[in-house]
Amino acid sequence: MALGDLGTRVVGRYIRWHDSLPSTNDLALRLAEIPVPEGTVIVAEEQTAGRGRLGRAWASPRGGVWLSVILSPGLPMDKVAVLGLAAGIAAAQAIRKTTGLLARLKWPNDVLVEGQKVVGILAEATPGADWVVVGIGINANIAPDALPVVSGHPLTSLQALLGHVVDREALIRALLRELDQGYAVLRASGISGVLRQWREMAETLGRRVHVEVAGATIHGTAFDIDGAGALLVRLDDGAVQRVVAGDVRMREAGS
């Protein structure tokens, strides 16, 4: 696969293609320690041990977009999550532009179309946060029966939504360009620009939610994210809970 000249400043200056890898994030984390030039991208046609958050497995059959970007944002460890938000924005924009589907964001980093997850993002820092690896997985051209069934968390692929395959090269090109732009905004104007754009594209805000946090479930209304990307939930008794890591389920009215 050849992407041609991306015209980006940082993201995608070097691209390494692999037919099959255990996990693009694992290789990128190892390469970052060498180090390799900032903006290097690792792409795999399939992953045999793709990873989600909290040690979960990520199904990565052929036909999807599985890649990791090596960045050095100079953010303190507690702000690294903002890069994950920026990646979610970039993936949603790339899907909108390439397919016309109305992709929206679910906290922290999922991209949903018609309420179903089509993108997962895993941002991981090396110790000391000198390097951050942003892993992005897009269910592009995947038959629905090649994806797991997860109760309470509907998911699908772009191919299933559209009824035809997507141009994966165009999707990757758009993704890397959008991420490059988002990264430039983050470096020039700081976190607030990323937060503003995330709020505009968010499906989670203003919604009644269940959030699973460390073995417990909290119920309330998600009303904002803070400067570190944490979700702010107003509980039913009026108190505000700040959620740094957790799984959100959005509730229908009345549930």
Binding-site member from 41, 66, 98, 211 for ligand BT5 (CB under 6 A): 66
Residue 121 near residue 50, CB atoms below 8 Å: no
Q: Closest CB to ligand BT5 among 117 and 234?
A: 117
Give the β-pairing of 103-106 and 110-113.
antiparallel
CA atoms 65, 60, 35, 230: torsion sign: positive
Residues in region 93-122 near ligand BT5 by CB under 6 A? 117, 120-122
How many Cβ atoms from other residues are within 10 Å of residue 86's Cβ? Answer: 30
Residues in region 152-181 near ligand BT5 by CB under 6 A? 155
Residue 21 near residue 47, CB atoms below 8 Å: yes
Residue 29, classed as helix, strand or coil, is helix
Binding of ligand BT5 by 211 (CB under 6 A):
no
Q: Rounded distance, CA 58 to CA 51, Å?
A: 5
Residue 240 near residue 222, CB atoms below 8 Å: no
From 52-60, 77-85, 193-201, 231-239, give the range in contact with ligand BT5 by CB under 6 A. 52-60
From 23-31, 76-84, 201-209, 223-231, give the range in contact with ligand BT5 by CB under 6 A. 23-31
Residues 6 or more apart whose Cβ sits within 8 Å of residue 45: 17, 18, 19, 20, 62, 66
Binding-site member from 10, 11, 12, 68 for ligand BT5 (CB under 6 A): 68
Binding of ligand BT5 by 147 (CB under 6 A):
yes
Binding of ligand BT5 by 183 (CB under 6 A):
no
Closest CB 148 distance from ligand BT5, rounded Å: 5
Give the β-pairing of 110-113 and 216-225.
unpaired
Q: Closest CB to ligand BT5 among 153 and 234?
A: 153
Binding of ligand BT5 by 208 (CB under 6 A):
no
Q: Rounded distance, CA 145 to CA 221, Å?
A: 34
Binding of ligand BT5 by 131 (CB under 6 A):
no
Binding of ligand BT5 by 197 (CB under 6 A):
no
Residue 222 near residue 233, CB atoms below 8 Å: yes
Q: Closest CB to ligand BT5 among 33 and 236?
A: 33
Binding of ligand BT5 by 141 (CB under 6 A):
no
Q: Rounded distance, CA 114 to CA 119, Å?
A: 13
Binding of ligand BT5 by 53 (CB under 6 A):
yes
Q: Rounded distance, CA 116 to CA 104, Å?
A: 10
Binding-site member from 9, 30, 56, 196 for ligand BT5 (CB under 6 A): 56
- Residue numbers of the site for ligand BT5 (CB under 6 A)? 23-25, 47, 50-54, 56, 58-60, 66-68, 117, 120-122, 135-137, 139, 147-148, 150, 155
